[in-house]
Amino acid sequence: MDWLEELKAAFAQEFAQAADGAALEQLRVKYLGKNGRITKALAEPGGAASAEALLEIRKELNTLKKAAGAEISVKAEQLRQSAIDAAELQTPRYDTSLPLRLEKGSYAPITLIQREVEAIFESMGFTVEDYAEVTDEYNCFEALNIPPYHPARDMQDTFYLENGQVLKTHTSAAQNTIMRKYGAPLRAVFPGRCFRNEAIDANHDNTFFQMEGMMIDRDISISNLIYFMKIMLSEVFGRPVKVRLRPGFFPFVEPGFELDINCLICGGEGCPSCGHSGWLELCPCGMIHPNVLRHGGIDTEQYTGFAFGLGLTRLAMMKYGIKDIRDLNSGSLKVLAQFV
């Protein structure tokens, strides 16, 4: 049958040309989808002279359908794997079994990633702000809509000083001061060291870094938030990164989200660095709660804003392939001197 040979040849040619996952998906829809060419041909195979010939055509079409489906799946998996391999080649890896080379000084990985993220946000009109490591309960909790005795305080158990001050548990502790300093409109990021009374494992430490971001202006919405996060992550990793947004509860945002990225250490398969889930919780975020804006002296009739709390330490782990967070605070030059 001419049309059947032509159909096979057309598929083979387009299959050979499909160079990425999206092109393969288009091909699958075009040939095997509900209205796909092979599907349609199976439903109405034209040109058969007899019942036996019709049977033969159907048999050939079914073989073609099966083979096409399998070829597309295999090639899609190969392309996915080679994209991961290529990305891994680009990712600097550290190896603690290498001899220590100290010909020149080097920056700690957190410093490197912090500067990189700051530069990305500065290029988008954000200022970079500094904030103390020791603060008070008002800034760390109350100004963030977490009154004393609210159960949300349990989420961030911290270290109290004898004078009643606290080591800041999150960079959100600076939000109020920065709102009061600049008023609205405002675009700022503020990196900082945070402290929590935590059970320590491969991706939790009691001392780690976050980078907070806030944008307050007229008509700011969740779309602005997603846009800035995607730009930042694709710049940091130099390629598109798979992210997912889940609803998340933080008293200082409404609505609130958890932004997770696909674990780049295991490619999403699951490993100790991502708690075997394939995803790494990286950046909670949301629209700033009106109570928080009011505490900061912002007119909530005129302004809205988003805030995010990027886990800078975890971002460094993903970027540099550091499997255990404890290496970062280890003080070991065998680890830290590998990043130039």
CA distance 195 to 150: 20
Out of 57, 68, 253, 292, the only residue in the binding site for ligand FA5 (CB under 6 A) is 253
Distance from CA of residue 142 to its chain's centroid? 29
Decide whether 194 or 337 has the Cβ nearer to ligand FA5.
194
| Residue 324 within binding range of ligand FA5, rule CB under 6 A | no
CB 199 within 8 A of CB 172: no
| Residue 281 within binding range of ligand FA5, rule CB under 6 A | yes
Out of 135, 139, 172, 273, the only residue in the binding site for ligand FA5 (CB under 6 A) is 172
Q: Using CB under 6 A, which residues numbered 174 to 213 contact ligand FA5?
A: 196, 198, 204-205, 208, 210, 212
Out of 251, 284, 296, 305, the only residue in the binding site for ligand FA5 (CB under 6 A) is 284
Please state the closest distance from residue 146 (CB atom) to ligand FA5, in A. 10
Q: Using CB under 6 A, which residues numbered 63 to 92 contact ligand FA5?
A: none
Please state the closest distance from residue 150 (CB atom) to ligand FA5, in A. 15
Please state the closest distance from residue 331 (CB atom) to ligand FA5, in A. 17
HSE (side-chain half, CA atoms, 13 Å) at 68? 30
CA distance 164 to 156: 16
- Within 10 Å of residue 97's Cβ, how many Cβ atoms? 5
CA distance 223 to 250: 19
Would you state the structure tokens that stand for residue 329, as one six-digit string?
């605070």
Please state the closest distance from residue 78 (CB atom) to ligand FA5, in A. 33
As beta bridge partners, residue 166 has 135, 160
Q: Residue 219: phi, psi to the nearest 5?
A: 60, 35
* Strands of the 207-217 sheet, one edge to the other: 127-128, 186-195, 207-217, 304-311, 279-288, 253-262, 243-247
| Residue 307 within binding range of ligand FA5, rule CB under 6 A | yes
Q: Pick the closest to residue 167 from 138, 130, 194, 205 (CA basis).
A: 194
Decide whether 15 or 237 has the Cβ nearer to ligand FA5.
237
Please state the closest distance from residue 234 (CB atom) to ligand FA5, in A. 18
| Residue 289 within binding range of ligand FA5, rule CB under 6 A | no
User: How far lies 23's CA from each of 18, 26, 28, 77, in Å?
Assistant: 5, 5, 9, 13
Out of 121, 311, 319, 320, the only residue in the binding site for ligand FA5 (CB under 6 A) is 311
Which positions lie near ligand FA5, rule CB under 6 A?
A: 170, 172, 196, 198, 204-205, 208, 210, 212, 250, 253, 256, 281-282, 284-286, 307-309, 311, 313-314, 325
